[in-house]
Amino acid sequence: MSGLLIRRAEVGGLLRDVRVGRGRVLEIGRSLLREGADERVLDGRGGALLPGLTDHHLHLFATAADLASTPCGPSAAHDATELRGLLHRARPDEHGWTRGVRYHESVAGDLDAVGLDLLRDDVPVRVQHRSGALWMLNSRAAAAIGLEQAQHPGVERDARGHATGRLWRADDWLRTRLPRSRPPSLAALGRLLAGYGITSVTDASPALDAGTVDAITAAMAEGALPQRVRLLGAPLHADGPSEPTNRQRGPLAGPWKIVLADSGLPHYDELVEEITAAHRAGRPVAVHCVTRESLVLLLAALEQTGSRPGDRLEHAALVPQELIPTLHRLGLRVVTQPGFLADRGDDFLLGIPAAEHGDLYRCASLLAGSVPLALSSDAPYGPLDPWAVLRAAVSRLTPAGAVAGPGERLSPAQALDGYLSPARLPGAPARTVCVGEPADLVLLHTPLAEALARPHAELVRLCLTAGEPGTAMF
């Protein structure tokens, strides 16, 4: 794109003209003159011009695959009969497999191979639980991957030692047993993210292999994925730049992802060793932590290893109030997902003791405790739409209308800041539209005050990354 002059946009509360060119914001002023016939001009009509949003924690290929899969959760099917219909209407992939996602037991109970066979048994079927931790396979799928003979610790077995068809936290292993196929295209996801105003994402998948990194790099270079990308799972000693260039054509390495799985915590010494190795490699750590026990283990390990600027706590689903000062003292940043409350908050409230309800996906108390806070989706496991996450952070309403932790509500401006903080330092002060900065911008249809009063994705009019439009909303 040769250049763009946005006239009458709200910048910092004032109506201004903004000139974009060479991938950066070149000029901000009043009544700017058009520079040449090839410079495009867009009337902002008083809409807010903001830095592009950053989703600080999602899973790119899992989300792309989710978009192409059959939804199996409560929003798509109310019972086993409806789920059976969905699976039978689903078109198998090129290898003859059917893939379902976002399943929850409220639809048809705890599914195993026998239960899935009752829903569809003529093709291999695999269904992912909405937590992302569990795959359920029907008998055809289990036989195709040799599940009965598998030695992986995630293979669930019954009292007689036979595989049930349920596979826990074994995505990498399962991938090696499935028919070989190319990674899903990221083009549709890239367009969807741009439509939300997202110009930067952090992929939170751990321990990425070279093929996955290459596929993301190719999608960015081809323009299929217009967003800037950081990878928590980039190889620990990855070469390449750590800071974005004007036209970033490949992903950057972020902090090193460590998963403290609730199904089996690592030994303390192993965790200390992994944190130490990451810090020695010059990488902060980004630690998946959803239980009180995992948080206590992590904090104890960091007390021994010491923390590094940029160390992050991912999810922070349960944070006792008394541990907030420790998070602050260790300099930890929290990347959390209040969108889960709107998506499945009632299940959370039923699943944990009432005394711990106030610890659930804390937001306001972390800010009050001077803990840097950023928001994200954890897509595909949580809602991808940042405006829906923003609404959830403000209201904290569950699907049934309960308020999960009213004292943890954020103001709309605070919630938006959670998406405006820089990808390199989630929770740092929100970025602003400034001359010389990369032209990663989102133009809204309305002034900011109106947008914050009624946040919705339909507010997004135009999204630019390095001055290039990811949406065609002129």
> Does 442 lie in the same domain as 426?
no
Last residue of a domain, one of 139, 157, 177: 177
> Does 238 lie in the same domain as 90?
no
Last residue of a domain, one of 177, 200, 220: 177
> Does 247 lie in the same domain as 168?
no
Last residue of a domain, one of 177, 198, 225: 177
> Does 426 lie in the same domain as 455?
no
Closest Cα partner for 301 from 278, 321, 334?
Answer: 278
> Does 352 lie in the same domain as 463?
no
> Does 208 lie in the same domain as 131?
no
pLDDT of residue 131: 86
pLDDT of residue 223: 93
> Does 383 lie in the same domain as 273?
yes
pLDDT of residue 2: 72
pLDDT of residue 248: 66
pLDDT of residue 249: 73
The angle formed by the CA atoms of residues 430, 464 and 246, to the nearest 5 degrees, is 80
pLDDT of residue 474: 45
pLDDT of residue 239: 59
> Does 410 lie in the same domain as 473?
no
Q: Which domain range does residue 467 map to? A: 1-52+433-474
Q: DSSP assignment of 78-145, as one string?
A: SSHHHHHHHHHHSPP-TTS-EEEEEE-HHHHSS--HHHHHHH--SS-EEEEETTSSEEEE-HHHHHHH
Distance of CA 82 to the CA centre of its chain: 29
> Does 226 lie in the same domain as 157?
no
Domain tally for the chain? 3
> Does 285 lie in the same domain as 238?
yes
> Does 314 lie in the same domain as 194?
yes
423 phi and psi, to 5 degrees? -60, -35
229-284 pLDDT per residue, tens: 999 999 987 655 556 655 667 999 999 999 998 778 999 999 999 999 999 999 99
The CATH number of whichever domain residue 467 belongs to comes to 2.30.40.10
43-94 pLDDT per residue, tens: 999 999 999 999 999 999 999 999 989 999 998 999 999 999 999 999 999 8
> Does 341 lie in the same domain as 313?
yes
Distance separating alpha carbons of residues 308 and 278, to the nearest angstrom: 10
Q: Which residue pairs, CB below 8 angstroms and at least 24 apart, start in 81-86?
A: 82/107, 83/107, 83/108, 83/119, 84/118, 84/119, 84/120
pLDDT of residue 64: 95
How many beta carbons lie within 10 A of that of residue 151, not counting itself? 6
The CATH number of whichever domain residue 385 belongs to comes to 3.20.20.140
Are the CB atoms for 396 and 78 separated by under 8 Å? no
Residue with tokens 């992903």: 251
Tell me the β-bridge partners of 201.
Answer: 55, 229
Task: Name the pTM for this structure.
Answer: 0.89
The pLDDT tens digits along the chain (474 residues) read 579 999 999 999 999 999 999 999 999 999 999 998 899 999 999 999 999 999 999 999 999 999 989 999 998 999 999 999 999 999 999 899 999 999 999 999 999 999 999 999 999 999 999 888 899 999 999 999 999 999 999 999 999 999 999 999 898 899 899 998 888 999 999 999 999 999 999 999 999 999 999 999 999 999 999 999 999 999 987 655 556 655 667 999 999 999 998 778 999 999 999 999 999 999 999 999 999 999 999 999 999 999 999 999 999 999 999 999 999 999 999 999 999 999 999 999 999 999 999 999 999 999 999 999 999 999 999 999 999 999 999 999 999 999 999 999 999 999 999 999 999 999 999 999 999 999 999 999 999 999 999 999 999 999 999 999 975 544
pLDDT of residue 242: 56
Residue type at 308?
A: R
pLDDT of residue 330: 98
